[in-house]
Structure 1
Amino acid sequence: MLQRIYFEDYTTGAWRETAGRTITETDIVLHAGQTGDFFPHHMDAEWCKTQPFRQRIAHGTLIFSIAIGLTATVVNEVAFSYGYDRLRFLQPVFIGDTIRSKVTIKEKRPYKKPGSGLVTELVEVFNQAGACVMVCEHILLAQLKT
């Protein structure tokens, strides 16, 4: 769906949640193949049994990719991703865990480019038990209405 959400349309404190997505073994194997990250933490079930978590964990970059993908429900013709800051992986995500994302407008500020401003979204990712497993800030470059 195409929309035009201008800088002025964003409201600090407004939030939305996404649907859930269950992480599968296939997700982990495909991500390892795409990135070349075949560390045993992700790929070796027997080795993981000897480690503190006792099971394979999903790549942090996989969780980031899926969590951000879950938030991509609207094509905004007047705002673009400027980048991500303060990315942290707070808890492991395991095969079978279901994650969902919560996006909250954290702040708005002017930008050096005339006719635009920066919108910071706080992205929090929760597992099925309600534990926050990842957090980051998504920066949007949004066009002004005027």
Structure 2
Amino acid sequence: MFIQKYFEEFKLNDVRQTKGRTITETDIVIHAGQSGDFFPHHMDEEWCKSQPFKKRIAHGTLIFTVAVGLTADFVNEVSMTYGYERLRFIKPVFINDTIKVTVTIKELKDHKKPEYGLVTELVECFNQHNELVMLCEHILMVKKGNS
């Protein structure tokens, strides 16, 4: 879906939630192939039995990618991603865990280009037990409606 949501239309503390997505072994294998990260934490079930979590964990970069993808349920034609900050992996995600994302508008401020503003979204990713597993800030550069 395509929308046009200008900077002035964003409101502090507005919240939206995504649907869930189950992380599969296939996701982990494909991500390892695409990223080149074949560390045993993700790929070696037997080795993992000797480690603190006792089983394979999903790549943090996989969880970040899926979480961001879950938030992309529309295209705002008057904004673009400016970047991500403060990325943290709080808890591991395992095969067959289901993640969902809550997005909260955290900050609104002017950009050096006066026709744009910066919208900072707090992106919080939770597992099926409602435990926080990942968070970051997504910064959007959004056109102002009065420009």
TM range (shorter): over 0.9
Instruction: Give the secondary-structure state (helix, strand or coil) at the position aligned to 1:41.
Output: helix
Residue matched to 1:143:
143
* Cα drift, residue 80 of structure 1: 0.5
Residue 77 of structure 2 corresponds to residue 52 of structure 1: no
Q: Distance in 2 between matches of 1:59 and 1:116?
A: 35
Instruction: Give the secondary-structure state (helix, strand or coil) at the position aligned to 1:106.
Output: strand
> What TM-score, normalized to structure 1?
0.99
Q: Distance in 2 between matches of 1:131 and 1:6?
A: 33
Instruction: Give the secondary-structure state (helix, strand or coil) at the position aligned to 1:68.
Output: helix
* Cα drift, residue 114 of structure 1: 2.1
Aligned residues: 146
Structure 2 unmatched ranges of 5 or more: none
Residue 30 of structure 2 corresponds to residue 26 of structure 1: no
Q: Distance in 2 between matches of 1:111 and 1:75?
A: 21
Residue 132 of structure 2 corresponds to residue 118 of structure 1: no
Identity of aligned residues (%): 64
Structure 1 unmatched ranges of 5 or more: none
Q: Distance in 2 between matches of 1:42 and 1:65?
A: 16
**Which residue identity lines up with residue 90 of structure 1 in the other structure?**
I
Instruction: Give the secondary-structure state (helix, strand or coil) at the position aligned to 1:27.
Output: helix
Residue matched to 1:13:
13
- Cα RMSD of the aligned pairs, angstroms, is 0.3
**Which residue identity lines up with residue 53 of structure 1 in the other structure?**
F
Runs of 4+ in structure 1 off by over 6 angstroms are none
